[in-house]
Structure 1
Amino acid sequence: MHHQHASIRGIVFGSLCGLVFMASTTTAQTGGFQIPGQLPSPNAAGSASRSSAAPDGIRIGGCIVQFNYKTKLPSKADGQLTELNVEEGQLIKKGDIIGLVDTKQAELTLELKRREEVVAKIKAQDHINYRDAIATEKIARAEAKAYEELFDQSAAPFWEMRKKQAEADRAQLRIELAELNEKSAMAEYMVKQAETELANHEIQMRTIRADFDAFVENRFAQLGEWVQRGSPIVEVVQMDELRVEGAVDALSYGREIRRGQAVKIYITVGGTDDAPVTEEFDATLDYISTELDLKQAHRIWAKIKNRKSGNDWLIKPGMEAVMYVSVTP
């Protein structure tokens, strides 16, 4: 009887141990499932795998947020920096004037060219010589015809008639000369217009403008400093649109990934390693490199529209991300 009770206790103890082992195994197997508000845990950095949790698709870990545009705006002319309107950390709009390189001489040149253009325009619109040449030709032609009639009546000598005919022909040449002078005056006017545009372009070259909505990352020049053509004035970065870059194994997934495919992107914006806080973005795969790197992977990236968090941007370059590429069966 004693042995029978001991056997029953052994069976119960063994069953309990088995349940504990199964529970621990189940916990280990489900530990990688996505938890709301957390970034899906990556495999090795840059690796791609089939996602076993939502969303479906090819999972690309180890992605990094990068600048879409990061530009050093240079001076396009030599001269003193007479105006500088930005500071580091300032937000600027496309077309905003960042600075001016001494425009005094360029403005005087522009005014001179405008006045020369006015003079050339007056000459191009002057038809007096042409109208005078036409009137003179009519008189000379009538006079030559009169002398021809007198010569037919033997009332005028032959050479006098020929002289009047030559004067009429000369008057016709004066008309053609007047037409040529008008064309030359119009051409001169067009040259002056081009010179005015060139002078105006010189002023625009001395005006440093923002090419896109941007954030002033660095300022290199100082107000009043002499700058040279090509020397950087400020460094600006685009923050309203960024790109998320990653690498996908070409041998395993190269034929399944194409430009234009829908992607879901999860970007870590805070939290801890154990409980990261992420933001989700829907995007389109914009780029796949044709060249493979040393790990036999394609470089890929997708653009995302950034979001504001108060007065600051939510997403910053350098943040880690995971990308899911949707694959159509």
Structure 2
Amino acid sequence: MEGNTTISNFSSFFLVGIPGLEFLHCWLSIPVFLLYIMTVMGNGLIILVIREESSLHQPMFYFLCMLAFDDIAIASTTAPRMLDIFWLDAHVIEFDACLAQMYLIHTFSITESALLVAMAFDRYVAICHPLHYATILTTPLVIRLGLVSVARGAIMVLPCPLLIKRLRYCTQNVIRHSYCEHMAVVKLACTNTYINRSYGIFVALSVILLDIGLISLSYFKILQAVFRLSSKEARSKALGTCAAHICAILITYIPALFSFLTHRIGKRVPPSLHIIFASIYLLVPPAVNPLVYGVKTKQIRDRVVILFFRKNDKISNH
């Protein structure tokens, strides 16, 4: 009977941080803290500028605003907990809090992936079908795409904590990670985890393959259209923007793929390297995205300058 009941021998887990690099936690906290500050300030500024400037109330900037909210959410579910470990040696996390963190991290990550697809589609329509842009990407469609992005993540990840609740933890409650990641928690169970592992693989592969496929198709079509442009200046400008966007996308997916594959086939990968890459894909893209999508976008760049100059003028007048 005991095997069929929902039992956990532990009410909490112990998060190690970066295994093997515990002596460097104090130094590792510096980039984590700086990345978190950059994420909150950069994305917060983008949200403020888009909200305040009516000329930016367009589909492209709505998607950018959604991405900014999601980036702040991802970083906020990860960085503060890591800093607790690095600064305060607060390694213990309650069982339910661990599952909540795991659920939020994976939900926001899948949402980010969907938003990157939506933004690639937006650029495809703008460059390949500019005359029909306003009729295709209407405000109701943008809202629906945003809601679908969030709903897909929330629904797909929901079975993960529910399935973990069914597992038993007999002897190990030490998670060799800096946050509660799905497979890191599943691996500690002393019962059969085949369903958990299979579902985790299904979610990861379905999201990565579908989203990367759609993004690749969009940018392939975009590049085809760009190379047909007669103006060399317009072509180089479009290529520069596409290159920046593609780099931001690669920064998001490559560390995520590395972490996913390491859990399954990377037995020889040092745990410290694995955890660093797993942390990079949650902390670096949210900090970099405002620079790539904000600074590289002329309308936002101009509005930020105007916003600060207006404030400086008001201060000097007083």
Answer yes or no: same fold by TM over 0.5: no
TM-score range, shorter chain: under 0.3
Structure holding more helix per residue: 2
